[in-house]
Structure 1
Amino acid sequence: MKSYFNSIPNCPKLLSNIFMKDDPEEAVLPEIYFNFLSNIGCQLEIVDETLERSDLSVLETYKQMKLLSSKIQQRRKDNFFGIKAKVLINGLSMPLQKKVTEDLNSFYSNMLQYLQKRYDVTDDNSYASLAAFSLQERIEFKVFEKAIEVFQLSENVCIDDLYEALSSHRDYLCNGVNRYGNYVANWLTYFSSVPEYDVPNISKVVGFLFSIPGSNAFVE
């Protein structure tokens, strides 16, 4: 990196002061930070692309944000900054290794603070209780109750009939879906496999959930 900026005629003084240090250890610091940003940036880009999908469901939003928060916390705990940055950090003196590690972990802490300020990734988030609608785990009646409560659907859904319908067709819903498949496809398979007149209330709840955009990013 230093050689690149050395090759620039009349390199701006600000860049020269950053990238053209004479001290070998100080000279490598920008490369460490750039490699770190490149590594964490790739992870953020993956989440960003997922959240900007036009078919994103609200069921996925909480899952993605929770996963991002967990990954950042784990990286901070493990002092993981990407292998390229790690190799360069290991070549520094111990005092400088400690300082750089603290700097990068501070960056992780700021990321978490920013994320938690703008999105509730705790189990208190109403959407946390709706994860079972992804059908990756056994879905219980209480999950439907929670959805009806959160979105105030009681006037349009007969809870008694929903309970009876779920009891009658629970075995297929719990055992007849692909746990690792697309949850929308799983629900479509379920609704096409049971009599429509048996599950109108289940259909109302699921249809309402899937109609909620997971993000406004693609609209903007």
Structure 2
Amino acid sequence: MKLTPKLYSDSAIAKHICCGRTKAEALITNILAPLASDFSQSLESKDMYFSIATDASNKGNVKTFPISVRFWTPEQGIQNRVLDFFEQAAESADAVTDTLLQKLAEHKLSIHNVSAFSADNAAVNYGRKHSIYQNLKHHNSKILPANCPAHIIHNAVKRASNVLKTDVESIVIKSFNHFSCSAKRVATLKEMFEFADMDYLTLLRHVPTRWLSLLPAIDRLVSTWPAVQSYFLSLGDEECPRVIWDALRGNEHGEEDECSELQVTLFFLQNVLKIFSGAVLSLESDNLTSVEVYALMNGLRTTLQQRKKDALFGAKVDRVFASSVTFSVDRLREEFICFYDTAEQYLEKWFNFSETGHLFNLQCFNLKERQDISYRQLTTVVSALQMDEDLDMDELYNENCALQDVLPKLATHSHPVGELWAQAIKSRSAFPQYSKLLSFVLSIPVSNAYSERVFSIMKGAWTDVRNRCSINLVRSEIKVKMNLQMSCGEFHKFIMGKPRALAAAKSSAKYVSAGPPAQPNLRRDRVDEESASCSREARESARAGSYEEE
């Protein structure tokens, strides 16, 4: 902004442009943040269902919680939005529940319209006797538990990796840490790359709490293995990290082999982790719906069962097993089979694969797999969701009959399921009962990935350089960045249709603290013919005065 008057010195408008910290903060907190919360007005309808999701993260000694919502409408499809972001020291089930109910009330949203509660699988969130979910069920018995399958898959990999004799996770972390803070070691490693006639690549960091960091780290270690192995062997017993040296020193008979057991284990994990990472990437998508989750998780389990049955460990592993005689091939095979068993058992323990679960019954709405839905399937879904008293079942039958001619025409489309249903329904008035049912079904979250993204945005906005930011400013920036995702041109068109917000931004009204919830007068911009014919000064004064008064 300070450069603008110099670049456009011949412009009378540019000469007077200024935007310091105070003005920028006022525009974000009192103008743009309320506009970013505009969506909540549509959720106030009793026929609209939405899910809520939250998580906890620390920023220094400050514990923060986002509240995100997911909803579906025939006009917009599936939408994910940040409702609020707050600070709270207590992380107990009662304290978080009270705050969630308070925030819903502040935004004039009813707990009875909440379809599901999503969070990670910690006991404080989903404990059977006392948890946030159980507390919410006291207020609304229909709320479903939307446990995070991405966390389940991540933990299944960690649990299965523990059965392997070689601790690959520790080796990956130790290898990265060994070079991360020493320029001398990196220089020596680069010499090893030159000796092996390879292009230098840095090792990647693996963070045990992140879902998808292990596979890229293993891929990089495998691709650079000749140089990395030569480097660690050159260090000798005393200098090389113990866990890496024990894995490199050869097989149990003390013989050297062209391919060590560590490398074979890396080959196996490089192959098998792809199916886990693919499932997590699908769950992270904003377009994936609850009607597709069961098929995805069941497909992952079936793949593990088939790999175990066929003893498939990857082409690289098979080549090593066929040619090597210096280490125990049978023992490694047993370890890899045990890996499959452990991962499968963990998935079955924490994910509901039963045919009585709601995710199994919701599969009938997956238009990518089928284009007809029987009335019997609808009644099963309605009973599973406890919506018998909320829907007119006779009218739902008539609407289902009318849709039987529409759904087959969507079979050739490659759009996400949420968009396909939006094309089929088109408007709430055309299929009111079906719209209400789909509003519940498609609002159920598939993972906790959206809440995790909020923390990524928070870390980018709340840096050490900007350590004086208030929680209100961080909340406002998160809302704007997550809820107003549009290009500059799209935002210009959007903001030009909000004359009341523009008037408030130009006047001193922007310095009036809005506070949660968002100011409702910014949601309803109306320009009548009389105000349009007024002079620019009079119109701005009138709007600013009306803004402050309201």
For 1:15-41, what per-residue CA distance to the aligned partner results, in whole angstroms no more than 9, with x for missing partners?
Answer: 222112141359621111011111112
Structure 1 equivalent of residue 263 of structure 2? 31
Mean Cα displacement is larger for which, 106-115 or 55-64? 55-64
Q: Does the alignment pair 1:190 with 2:421?
A: no
- Which structure 2 residue ranges, 5 or more long, are not aligned? 1-224, 453-550
| Residue 435 (structure 2) aligned to one of 203, 207, 212 | 203
In 2, Cα distance between equivalents of 1:65 and 1:41: 15
Q: Does the alignment pair 1:19 with 2:248?
A: yes
Q: CA deviation at 1:179?
A: 5.1
Structure 2 equivalent of residue 219 of structure 1? 451
Please give the root-mean-square deviation of Cα atoms over the aligned residues, in Å: 2.3
DSSP 3-state at the match of 1:211: coil
In 1, Cα distance between equivalents of 2:348 and 2:374: 29
Q: Give the partner amino acid of 2:246.
A: N
Contact 1:59 1:130 in 2 (8 A): yes
In 2, Cα distance between equivalents of 1:14 and 1:196: 62
Q: Give the direction of change, closer, same or farther, for the CA distance of 1:124–1:154 in structure 2 (3 Å limit).
A: closer
Contact 2:288 2:417 in 1 (8 A): no
Structure 2 equivalent of residue 177 of structure 1? 410
Q: CA deviation at 1:68?
A: 0.9
Query: Under a length normalisation based on structure 2, what TM-score does the superposition of the two structures give?
Result: 0.37
Contact 2:255 2:326 in 1 (8 A): no
Contact 1:178 1:186 in 2 (8 A): no
Q: Give the direction of change, closer, same or farther, for the CA distance of 1:46–1:217 in structure 2 (3 Å limit).
A: same
Q: CA deviation at 1:217?
A: 3.4
Q: Give the direction of change, closer, same or farther, for the CA distance of 1:94–1:134 in structure 2 (3 Å limit).
A: farther
Mean Cα displacement is larger for which, 8-17 or 59-68? 8-17
Please list, as runs of the form range in 1=range in 2, the aligned pairs for 1:1-220 lying within 5 A after superposition: 1=225, 2-8=229-235, 10-21=239-250, 22-25=254-257, 28-93=260-325, 96-135=328-367, 136-137=369-370, 138-173=372-407, 175-178=408-411, 181=414, 182-192=416-426, 197-220=429-452
Q: Give the direction of change, closer, same or farther, for the CA distance of 1:218–1:8 in structure 2 (3 Å limit).
A: farther
Contact 2:247 2:261 in 1 (8 A): no
In 2, Cα distance between equivalents of 1:179 and 1:129: 24
Structure 1 equivalent of residue 525 of structure 2? none
DSSP 3-state at the match of 1:164: helix
Q: Give the direction of change, closer, same or farther, for the CA distance of 1:105–1:212 in structure 2 (3 Å limit).
A: same
Contact 1:73 1:108 in 2 (8 A): yes
| Greater strand fraction, Structure 1 or Structure 2 | 2
Contact 2:289 2:417 in 1 (8 A): no
Q: Give the partner amino acid of 1:16.
A: W
Contact 2:287 2:418 in 1 (8 A): no
Mean Cα displacement is larger for which, 155-164 or 13-22? 13-22
DSSP 3-state at the match of 2:451: coil
Contact 1:89 1:100 in 2 (8 A): no
Q: CA deviation at 1:95?
A: 8.6
In 2, Cα distance between equivalents of 1:13 and 1:219: 39
Mean Cα displacement is larger for which, 16-25 or 183-192? 16-25
Q: Aligned residue pairs: how many?
A: 217
Query: Under a length normalisation based on structure 1, what TM-score does the superposition of the two structures give?
Result: 0.88
In 2, Cα distance between equivalents of 1:213 and 1:147: 17
In 2, Cα distance between equivalents of 1:119 and 1:180: 31
Contact 1:58 1:215 in 2 (8 A): no
The higher radius of gyration belongs to 2
For 1:110-145, what per-residue CA distance to the aligned partner results, in whole angstroms no more than 9, with x for missing partners?
Answer: 001111111022434321122120112122112211
In 1, Cα distance between equivalents of 2:306 and 2:255: 33
In 1, Cα distance between equivalents of 2:310 and 2:231: 32
Q: CA deviation at 1:93?
A: 3.6
Q: Give the partner amino acid of 1:176.
A: K
Contact 2:301 2:344 in 1 (8 A): yes
Mean Cα displacement is larger for which, 39-48 or 14-23? 14-23
DSSP 3-state at the match of 2:404: helix
- Which structure 1 residue ranges, 5 or more long, are not aligned? none
Contact 2:294 2:359 in 1 (8 A): yes
- % of aligned pairs identical? 25
In 2, Cα distance between equivalents of 1:168 and 1:48: 37
In 1, Cα distance between equivalents of 2:423 and 2:269: 43
In 1, Cα distance between equivalents of 2:420 and 2:288: 16
Q: Give the partner amino acid of 1:90.
A: A
In 1, Cα distance between equivalents of 2:345 and 2:262: 24
In 2, Cα distance between equivalents of 1:54 and 1:145: 28
